[in-house]
Every structure is written in structure tokens, then in C-alpha cells.
Amino acid sequence: MTGYRAAAPGSAPRQQRAGITFLTATNASKPETDRISDILRRVIAENGREHVRGYAFAILCLLTVAATTAFTAWIMEAVINEAFANRRADLVWLICGSIFVAFVIRGLAGYGQAVTLAKIGNNIVARYQTRLFNHLMSLSVGYFSEARSGRLAAQINQNINGIRDVLNLTVTSLARDLVTLIALLGVMFYQDIVLSMIVFTVAPPLLLGLRYISKRLRTVTKDAVILNAHVLGAMQETVQGIAIVKAFTMEPVLAGKIQATIEAAEKRSNRIARLSERNGPLTESLAGFSIAGVMAYAAYQAIYGGVLPGSFFSFVTALLLAYEPAKRLAKLQVQMERAAVNAQMIYEILDTQPHQRDKQGAGSFEASNARIEFRNVTFGYGDNPPVLRNVSFVAEGGKTTALVGPSGAGKSTVITLVPRFYDPMEGEIVIDGQNIADVTKTSLRQHIAYVSQQPYLFEGTIRDNIRYGRPEATDGEVEEAARLANAHDFILAQPLGYDTPVGENGVTLSGGQRQRLSIARALVRNAPILLLDEATSALDTESEALVQQALDAAMAGRTVIVIAHRLSTVVNADKIIVMQAGQVVEQGTHESLAQQSGGLYARLNNLQAAPNGPISI
């Protein structure tokens, strides 16, 4: 997966189930063995060297388990013949002691490999969680605008263990099950070749049946993972928006939609269960046929051939002990198929290329006057029509530039282009003579403070959330920023003051309080460029006036681009840019624009000054 732009109609295979659209496996035509081997090679290349010692120890333990298991089957001939047929009392203690030692060694080896593989697996999961988070942070805002956060989190949570399972299944299957099976087969052939050949008659139909099951399981597994991600994502989004759900009595509608998704996921899971467990009756039936044949031949030999039962018991013991590793190996391709699907979906995220990569040799941004200039900028989201068309204006350094206009005019889009949340389709944005496309995004954003239209708080305390603006800020600087944002008093009124947890997205605070903390976070950054996207929209009139005074002081000497729906908050701006339908239609000060007869700003100003006003735009 190399991009995140919305696909054009008919460009990718999709299926519709219960009102939910989900992607099918896009590489279904590729043989499953090739796909599993590709995933396995990649997982080993990325993790093998890091854990080579741990895997070597685990393999040694698994080989010990295999050896002691084969020894148990081999020694049964001596147990039966010497203890029961020949009645050699002098050998009984030696035989029993060796069996006891073999079981102790096998128990210790099993413990060692289990703990070692668990530690390695946990480390692999932790490393990929870190890698996924870091990679997601490298992707642009555009990726997350198209990928629903709840569904993305659910997909990661469900699939992250696939990487670990691919390696652990490979190691345990090869070093324990395969070696154990080979050793036990050796015991079986050593004791009786004819009986061994009877057992091998079941292998071809078993392999053909498992291959058929694996093919059927491949596509169903990926669809089930995506459907379960839909379920978890929908539940998470409903919980986050519970106030709106309750206010608009949306419970029945959402319950119906989620129920449809749950039923679709349930059907897929049931189908996976049916397919996965089909190997059970297949394996058991063929094993029963094989054991019945062995018993019939052995009985014939004992009755008519006078053969001692020791070799037969040793053979049967080996056969019964071989049944479990053989059954696990029979399930291996089914399990590997599921693990490979999970691992592949994680790699699809990791292989997503950042859409806004820094240019080769991009320089570091240095701000002096912080003069911002838009030069014929055109921009649109995805394949939609352009939101901005040939936008040109200058935000002078150290001064305040206000963007006003009707809703949908493109004001917030202008704000998002300055820190390079998105890149223009045409034109350029220049700050102090530097095209921001030619500098690194990190160095650019370090010179920008941003207050969004909807304040967002993170898990932690009030102090933590303000300090995110500048992690090295002192407690005194954090509190000073809170005072400037008119937040200090209400913070001290909280149970633990600045150390009060804010809850999920600040659920314990009012909208105005969250916005003031968001403003404080921007102020503590002490950046030369300040972007305010309706920063006072959630405040009451009194708080807005106080915060506006604080912002006026904080904006001194900084380049500020501010969006406001109430013109009263921007009348003192050094320049006002009036936008309509994605274009700049007027520029000037409040006085000059208000006096333009028939101008858009004058009309909006008159509407807000009307007796029934103010009117938000």
C-alpha cells in the first residue's frame, strides 16, 4: 500500500455485507505458500538477528523435548520385553529411572522454550507497536482524514500479534513438532517397516484436504479482521460522541447499524471456525483408519507369528506420541495463513509512504521577520474540486492578519497550509523568502504555534497538556501562559490544581476551559508565528474579552493569522483578508473595508451591527 488517496470507483475489489463496505484480499491470486514465505522472510530479516541467541536456546530446548519424546517411545520395547516377557528384575530400576529422568528433562526443556519464546514474542510486539506509532506520526494529516481513527486502532490491536505468531509457529513447528515427528517415525521404521507403511497411506489425502481448507480460509480471514475492526471502531466512535448520541436519541439507529456489522462479523468468524476445524474430523478419521490397520496387522503377527509384543508396544507408543505433533503440523498451514494475513495488514500500514516527504537536501527553516506570502496557491482535498483557487496575499511579519468570510470560503484550509499539514497543488507559500516546501516540516513547525477550531486535550494533567507546547518549559512559564490565556484561576479551582487529570479529551472541563488550555499551550510555545483558527469560538462573552486582551498582548511582535466569525474580534487587525468561494475578494483594514459600498466585508459588518445581531459568519 503506497498511498492513502481515496480510490476511484471500481479501482479496487470490494464486497458489500450488511451495509458495510470492506476491502477483500488484493493479492488473492498469489499462491498462499509464496505469500507466507514472503512474509516469513521479511519477519526473519527484521527480527532474526536481534533474537538469534534466544531462538538458538529455544531451539535447543525444543530439540531436547523431541529427543526425550522419541526416547520414551523407543524404551517401551525394553519395558515390555525385559520387565514383562523376560522378567528381568535387575533392569527394571534402570529402565524406570531413565524414563523418570527423560520426563524431568523434557519438563525443564519445555519450560525453558516456553518462557524464552514468550519473552521474544513480547519484545517483538513491543518493538512493532513502537515502530507503528513512529510511522503513523510520520504520515501527513491527509492520511488520518481518510483513515478512521477507531478502525485504525482496532486493526492494529487485532493484527500486531501476527508478526510474533509467524516466527513462533515457525520455530516450534520446525524445532519441536517436525523433529519430534521425524524421530518418532525413525523409531516406528526401526521397529516395523510394514506397520510404518500402513501409517503413511493416510498422508496424501490429508495433505490434499488441508491444502483445500487453507485456500478457502485465506480470503475469509482478512475479511473477518476488517469487519471486526469496523465493529470496534464503531463502538469507540459512539463512546466518544455519546453526548450527541443521547441528545439526538440516535441509540436505535446506531444500534441497528452496529448490530448489522456485528452480525456480519459473527458470520465471518463462524465461517472461519468451520473452515479451521475441518481438519479435526479429517485428521481423526484418517488417524483412526491408520491405527485400526496397525492393530489388525499387529494382532495377526502376535497370534500367528509368535512375535514378542515389545516391538509392537514401542511402535504403538511412537505412533500415539507422533499423533499430536503430526496434528499440529497438519494445522500449521492454516495457522500460518491466519498469522500471515495479520502480519500482512500490519505491513500494509508500515509500507504506507508518507505523502509529504521532505525534499532531498531540505534545509532547516530559520525565521527572522516571519513574513508569510501566499503566491497563487490552489489546493483541493483528494480528487475533490479545489477549495482554494489562485489565493495570493501577504501576512506582514510581526503583525496580525485576519481571515474573514462566509462558511466554506476556505479560511481554515489557508491555516492548515502554513504548517504544511497539506501541500498546495499549485503555487507556493514563502516565509521570509524561504519556500516552505524546501525546508523540513519539523524545523518549520517548531516556529509555529497553532490553536485549532476544536480544542483537543491529551491524557494526563492540566500541566502536562500546557507543557506539550514546549516540553522544556518550566512550571513558572506554564503558569504564566495559563494566566495570559485567562485559565489560571479556574485551574487553581480544580481539585489538584495544575496536577488535575483532564480525563479523556478533557471531558471533566467545559468547552471554554478546554479552549483556554489550548490557547495556553500555544502561548507557552513562544513561537514567532501564531495561527488562531477561531480560537475564541467556544468562550462566553466575558471570557472572550479577557482572552482577547491576553492574545493582543501575546501577539505583539509575532506574525499572527487569525480566523474569526465575529468581526468584532478582528477590527484591530493590521490587515483583513476577505475570502469567498476559495478566493481572496477584498483586502484592507477594518475602516477601509467597512466603507466600501457594496463590498462583502461591508455587508457582513452591517449584518453584525444590526439590532438583531451579532451574526456569526
Give the confidence band of 550 by pLDDT, cuts at 50, 70, 90: low
Given this model, what pLDDT does residue 38 score? 81
> Can 31-350 and 359-447+557-617 be said to share one CATH topology?
no
- Is 27's pLDDT higher than 60? no
Greater model confidence, 5 or 501: 501
Give the confidence band of 144 by pLDDT, cuts at 50, 70, 90: confident
Query: Distance of alpha carbon 337 from its chain centroid, rounded?
Result: 20
Mean pLDDT of the region 360-368: 86
Given this model, what pLDDT does residue 560 score? 92
One-character DSSP codes across 249-305: T-HHHHHHHHHHHHHHHHHHHHHHHHHHHTHHHHHHHHHHHHHHHHHHHHHHHHHHH
pLDDT, tens digit, for every residue of 212-259? 666 666 666 666 666 776 777 677 667 767 767 777 677 787 788 778
C-alpha to C-alpha distance for 470 and 525, rounded to whole angstroms: 5
Mean pLDDT of the region 58-77: 86
Q: Is 97 exposed, middle or buried (0-12, 13-18, 19+ CB in 10 A)?
A: exposed
The gap between the terminal CA atoms of the chain, to the nearest Å, is: 41
Greater model confidence, 593 or 312: 593
Rounded to the nearest 10 degrees, how much is the dihedral formed by the CA atoms of 299, 305, 310, 313? -20
Report the percent of the chain where pLDDT is more than 90.
19
Give the confidence band of 572 by pLDDT, cuts at 50, 70, 90: confident
- Is 517's pLDDT higher than 80? yes
Q: Is 423 exposed, middle or buried (0-12, 13-18, 19+ CB in 10 A)?
A: middle
Mean pLDDT of the region 340-347: 81
Do residues 328 and 177 lie in contact, with contact meaning Cβ atoms separated by under 8 Å?
A: yes
Given this model, what pLDDT does residue 39 score? 81
C-alpha to C-alpha distance for 447 and 527, rounded to whole angstroms: 5
C-alpha to C-alpha distance for 101 and 67, rounded to whole angstroms: 13
Mean pLDDT of the region 307-314: 70
C-alpha to C-alpha distance for 481 and 499, rounded to whole angstroms: 16
Show the cell assigned to 172. Answer: 516450534
Show the cell assigned to 545. Answer: 474579552
Greater model confidence, 550 or 113: 113
354 DSSP 8-state letter: P
Nearest to 431 by CA among 451, 410, 445: 445
DSSP three-state, residue 585: strand
Class of domain 359-447+557-617: alpha beta
Mean pLDDT of the region 566-577: 82
Given this model, what pLDDT does residue 512 score? 79
- Is 8's pLDDT higher than 60? no
C-alpha to C-alpha distance for 83 and 95, rounded to whole angstroms: 9
Mean pLDDT of the region 455-480: 90
C-alpha to C-alpha distance for 231 and 211, rounded to whole angstroms: 31
Nearest to 187 by CA among 19, 268, 66: 66
Greater model confidence, 590 or 455: 590
Give the confidence band of 5 by pLDDT, cuts at 50, 70, 90: very low
Given this model, what pLDDT does residue 1 score? 37
Greater model confidence, 303 or 261: 261
Mean pLDDT of the region 63-91: 78
- Is 77's pLDDT higher than 60? yes
Greater model confidence, 34 or 353: 353
Given this model, what pLDDT does residue 492 score? 93
Show the cell assigned to 174. Answer: 520446525
400 DSSP 8-state letter: E
Mean pLDDT of the region 532-542: 72
The residue behind cell 488535575 is 500
Given this model, what pLDDT does residue 34 score? 53
C-alpha to C-alpha distance for 453 and 403, rounded to whole angstroms: 14
Domain residue spans in the chain? 31-350, 359-447+557-617, 450-526
Please report the sign of the dihedral spanned by the C-alpha atoms of residue 302, residue 306, residue 310, residue 315.
Answer: negative
Cis peptide before 614 (omega within 30 of 0): yes
Given this model, what pLDDT does residue 24 score? 36
B/e letters for 430-450, b = 16+ CB within 10 Å, e = fewer, are: bbbebebbebbbebbbebbbb
Q: Which helix (H) or strand (E) holds 84?
A: none
Class of domain 31-350: mainly alpha
Mean pLDDT of the region 184-211: 73
Tell me which fold the domain 450-526 belongs to: Rossmann fold (3.40.50)
On average, the pLDDT of the chain sits at: 78
Greater model confidence, 211 or 166: 166
Q: How far is CA 339 from CA 40, 205, 260, 327, 592, in A?
A: 10, 25, 27, 18, 67
Adjacency order of strands within the sheet including 372-379:
388-395, 372-379, 426-431, 434-435
Given this model, what pLDDT does residue 486 score? 82
pLDDT, tens digit, for every residue of 456-465? 888 889 999 9
Mean pLDDT of the region 445-467: 87
